[in-house]
Chain A
Amino acid sequence: EAEVAQSPRYKITEKSQAVAFWCDPISGHATLYWYRQILGQGPELLVQFQDESVVDDSQLPKDRFSAERLKGVDSTLKIQPAELGDSAMYLCASSYRGNEQFFGPGTRLTVL
């Protein structure tokens, strides 16, 4: 069964360092989403891509976060510099054209 792949699964870093997360959506899914989930809360959208174009990045802290999907397939989310408050689960999801989004296993980030 096709799945959304994410790596790494876990990342521990010190504040002020740079981190990067990778996501490979289900083949053929044109829409890709990055979410941040803080413990005890629901996922919050950071950025949405349609193919290689950003559809919505209104909630992305652009002073330190960046996201790209250069060829409209896999995507990278970067944080530079990381801050203590960035500790969270970072989830990637993709969808074809329906309403259902399929999530990857997430990357658990801990900033020390």
Chain B
Amino acid sequence: DQQVKQNSPSLSVQEGRISILNCDYTNSMFDYFLWYKKYPAEGPTFLISISSIKDKNEDGRFTVFLNKSAKHLSLHIVPSQPGDSAVYFCAAGAGNMLTFGGGTRLMVKP
């Protein structure tokens, strides 16, 4: 049973436009959420996080939105840049343990 799901395996966006990556979770015990970015042959790198007591967190071009009632979070990247092309994983945390989604491959076209 997947507790964290990223239903879109891939997303293609034009440079300069907004990228929206989605993530759904089922476990109400998760109390924080993170997004990681992964390039091929590298480990995931942390992008942005949000606590369950907030509904929005912004860091430069990256904004994460959390809808607790829907058990849904999203990552917005605006404007998208070709260097943003990578696999993005959402992760949900309880205590110091993370559960990852399956990832979404983002392709930003010049």
B100:A99 contact, CB within 8 angstroms = no
| Given A42-B4, A43-B89, A99-B49: A106 and B97 interface contact (C-beta under 8 Å) | no
The closest CB in chain B to the CB of A103 belongs to: B43
CA distance in complex: A101, B95 (Å): 12
B46:A91 contact, CB within 8 angstroms = no
User: Least Cβ distance of A22 to chain B in Å?
Assistant: 14
Partner of A104, one of B6, B36, B43, B103: B43
Select the residue from B4, B43, B99 with max chain A CB neighbours within 10 A: B43
Q: Is B65 positioned at the interface, with any CB of A under 8 Å from its CB?
A: no
| Given A42-B4, A43-B89: A105 and B102 interface contact (C-beta under 8 Å) | no
The closest CB in chain A to the CB of B93 belongs to: A99
Residues of B within 8 A of A75 (CB): none
A4:B43 contact, CB within 8 angstroms = yes
Select the residue from B45, B96, B100 with max chain A CB neighbours within 10 A: B96
User: Least Cβ distance of B64 to chain A in Å?
Assistant: 13
Band of interface residues on A: 20 to 34
B100:A44 contact, CB within 8 angstroms = yes
| Given A91-B43, A108-B41: A100 and B4 interface contact (C-beta under 8 Å) | no
A105:B101 contact, CB within 8 angstroms = no
Q: Is B59 positioned at the interface, with any CB of A under 8 Å from its CB?
A: no
7 extra A-B contacts, CB within 8 A, seeds A101-B46, A108-B41: A9-B41, A31-B96, A40-B102, A42-B102, A56-B97, A102-B46, A106-B42
Instruction: Report, nearest first, the 7 A-B pairs whose CB atoms are least far apart.
Output: A42-B100, A103-B43, A103-B44, A105-B43, A42-B102, A106-B43, A43-B100
Could you write out 25 A-B pairs with CB less than 8 Å apart?
A9-B41, A31-B96, A40-B9, A40-B102, A40-B103, A42-B4, A42-B91, A42-B102, A42-B103, A43-B89, A43-B100, A44-B100, A45-B98, A48-B97, A93-B43, A99-B32, A99-B93, A100-B34, A100-B46, A102-B46, A103-B36, A103-B45, A104-B43, A105-B41, A106-B42
